[in-house]
């Protein structure tokens, strides 16, 4: 049956307001298990790159993999703090292939896949400098985060929605996006720096919606220091977790009638307080 049944507008409006309140609660705290029927999303958090191919190098000579691992672990903690289930992919940095990443997420029955990366610049944009006695290479031209989705993913719509939500929440918390990747990748959402990157293996081989997140440009000397700061990492993880929870939980009907009825049905205590009762 429909969650609010055959009611007057007053009752329907009250019901939706109540449902909206619940959605906010779900974002802010662990979803209560109402008779075991509340859907708890499971999020796969993928640590981009491997020990043998550690990705980009920072302005101070640190590997992208090490940045990815720190932020991914913070994100797992932030998601769990909201009551979501998590799966950490490539925890040891030795995953066999790009395809193995979404496969690990599918094997764990993940509902959403997010791959954590840090951005770099093209070789020709790099300049030399010395840090800790060694020659390193940097570019201070670009800084900021960006997001990527694939139209070859089976759920592009949900992928874009989650990426936009992540971008919006990040900006709300003061993080600034980069449009450096707009030079090569078309926009799914300009304002939130969400790009299409259809051939990204980790997204196109995923069986669930997915987003690749570039947290910032580690070749940028000042941004590298921000990206290495554990407190800032925690704030960024908090933004991402809030957005992922909102994208997966809010604005979406409960996936089963029992859960919908538990929140919006006539048996709930709040219904007894409606004016016409």
- 117 binds Zn ion per the rule CB under 5 A: yes
Question: Which range touches Zn ion (CB under 5 A), out of 54-62, 143-151, 197-205, 224-232?
Answer: 54-62
Sketch the per residue contact string, 10 through 49, with Zn ion: x for CB under 5 A, - otherwise: --------------------------------------x-
Contact 83, 29 (CB under 8 A): yes
Nearest approach in angstroms of CB 207 to Zn ion is: 22
User: Tokens for 152?
Assistant: 């070859």
- 195 binds Zn ion per the rule CB under 5 A: no
Of residues 117 and 205, the one with the C-beta less far from Zn ion: 117
Strands in 42-174 per DSSP E: 42-47, 85-89, 112-119, 127-131, 134-138, 146-149
Angle at 75 between CA 185 and CA 149, to 5 degrees: 20
Residue number of the CB atom closest to Zn ion = 117
Task: Tell whether the torsion through CA atoms of 46, 155, 148 and 254 is positive or negative.
Answer: negative
Residues that bind Zn ion (rule: CB under 5 A) add up to a total of 3
Contacts to Zn ion from residues 55-84, by CB under 5 A: 55
Of residues 117 and 220, the one with the C-beta less far from Zn ion: 117
Q: Is 86 helix (H, G, I), strand (E, B) or coil?
A: strand
Of residues 236 and 245, the one with the C-beta less far from Zn ion: 236
Of residues 130 and 184, the one with the C-beta less far from Zn ion: 184
In sequence order, which residues have a C-beta less than 8 Å from that of residue 219 and are 6 or more positions away?
A: 56, 57, 58, 59, 119, 120, 121, 126, 137, 138, 139
Of residues 51 and 256, the one with the C-beta less far from Zn ion: 51
In sequence order, which residues have a C-beta less than 8 Å from that of residue 184 and are 6 or more positions away?
A: none
* Residues 262, 251: Cα–Cα separation, whole Å: 17
Of residues 89 and 249, the one with the C-beta less far from Zn ion: 89
Residue 220 CB neighbours (<10 A): 24
Of residues 90 and 156, the one with the C-beta less far from Zn ion: 90
Nearest approach in angstroms of CB 66 to Zn ion is: 12
- Beta bridge partners, 225, equal none
Nearest approach in angstroms of CB 40 to Zn ion is: 29
Nearest approach in angstroms of CB 73 to Zn ion is: 16
* Residues 272, 100: Cα–Cα separation, whole Å: 51
Nearest approach in angstroms of CB 10 to Zn ion is: 53
- 216 binds Zn ion per the rule CB under 5 A: no
Nearest approach in angstroms of CB 49 to Zn ion is: 5
Nearest approach in angstroms of CB 116 to Zn ion is: 9
Residues that bind Zn ion (CB under 5 A): 48, 55, 117
């Amino acid at each position: 049956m429909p969650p609010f049944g055959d009611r007057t507008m007053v009752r329907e409006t009250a019901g939706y307001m109540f449902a909206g309140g619940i959605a906010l609660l779900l974002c802010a705290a662990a979803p209560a298990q109402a008779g075991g029927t509340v859907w708890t999303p499971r999020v796969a958090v993928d640590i981009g790159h491997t020990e043998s191919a550690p990705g980009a190098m920072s302005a101070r000579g640190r590997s992208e993999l090490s940045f990815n691992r720190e932020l991914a672990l913070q994100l797992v903690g932030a998601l769990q703090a909201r009551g979501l289930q998590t799966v950490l992919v490539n925890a040891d940095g030795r995953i066999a292939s790009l395809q193995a990443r979404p496969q690990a997420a599918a094997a764990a029955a993940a509902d959403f896949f997010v791959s954590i990366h840090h951005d770099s610049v093209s070789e020709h944009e790099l300049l030399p400098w010395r840090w800790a006695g060694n020659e390193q290479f940097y570019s201070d031209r670009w800084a900021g985060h960006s997001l990527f989705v694939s139209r070859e993913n089976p759920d592009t719509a949900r992928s874009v929605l989650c990426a936009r939500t992540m971008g919006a929440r990040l900006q709300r918390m003061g993080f600034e996006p980069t449009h450096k990747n707009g030079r090569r990748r078309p926009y799914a959402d300009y304002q939130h720096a969400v790009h299409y990157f259809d051939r990204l293996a980790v997204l196109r081989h995923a069986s669930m919606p997915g987003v690749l997140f570039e947290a910032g440009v580690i070749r940028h000397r000042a941004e590298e220091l921000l990206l290495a700061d554990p407190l800032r990492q925690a704030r960024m993880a908090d933004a991402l977790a809030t957005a992922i929870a909102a994208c997966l939980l809010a604005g979406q009907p409960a996936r089963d009638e029992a859960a919908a009825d538990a929140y919006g049905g006539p048996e709930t205590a709040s219904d007894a307080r409606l004016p016409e009762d």
